[in-house]
Amino acid sequence: LLFLLSDINLNSPNKALGVDRTDSLSDVPVEGAMGNPANPPPPGLTEEEAEELRTELTKVEEEINTLRQVLCAKERHAAELKRKLGLNPLNELRQNLTRSWQDVQTSNAYLSASATLDDITHSDAYKKTQETLSQAGQKTTAALSTMSTALSKKIGDMRYSLFPLPLSLQYKVVGQRGNGDAVSSPTDTTPTQENPSF
């Protein structure tokens, strides 16, 4: 199924693959190739010149069709070879991307831009800007941390002052001691042995 294109005569599309294809192509209508007898030739052309151009157009369109068929056969053959070699589209894409990235890295534009960027990053202005931004970031982080801590404390204080826990819930949260006595909390108002009720 290997085709050689070396003997293709572009002036004779029927011999493209070394096979006489006169019968298969002659039955295929080609759009625009045949003139309409009701239409006169374009201005400046005689009927003979128009017919000659139509004939040439027919030949060129036949050549295009033949080349499409050859290309299609070549693409099928290449796909079959790739399949046999274990190449799949993903591996091929990966190889193409790697090759393209290597080409970019060795291009003059990339090397020039890289050198310019290197010069910029080593300049005094860049270093001073980087230090200033770093210090500003550290100060902002510290300020936000302090503000966050204060805000969390304030919200916690507000929550307990607005919504105190009921005694039964405090008892469940704090739990019991091993001997059956409840653990007292700072807000506990229940009487204990040390503080008997009268």
28-68: per-residue pLDDT in tens?
Answer: 454 544 545 567 788 888 999 999 999 999 999 999 999 99
pLDDT higher for 146 or 11? 146
Helical ranges in 45-195 per DSSP H: 47-85, 89-105, 108-121, 124-162, 167-174
Tell me if the pTM is above 0.75: no
Rounded alpha-carbon distances, angstroms, from residue 129 to 37, 71, 89, 95, 142: 79, 58, 47, 40, 20
To which residue do tokens 């128009």 refer? 50
Per-residue confidence band for 20, with pLDDT thresholds at 50, 70 and 90: very low
For residue 76, is pLDDT > 70? yes
To which residue do tokens 């310019």 refer? 116
Q: Parse the chain into domains and list their residue ranges.
A: 47-106, 119-162
Average predicted confidence (pLDDT) for the chain: 74
Per-residue pLDDT at 43: 87
Counting beta carbons within 10 angstroms of the beta carbon of residue 13, is it exposed (0 to 12), middle (13 to 18) or buried (19 or more)? buried
In sequence order, what are the residues at sequence separation of 6 or more whose Cβ sits closer than 8 angstroms to the Cβ of residue 120? 126
For residue 172, is pLDDT > 50? yes
For residue 164, is pLDDT > 80? no
Q: Is 24 helix (H, G, I), strand (E, B) or coil?
A: helix
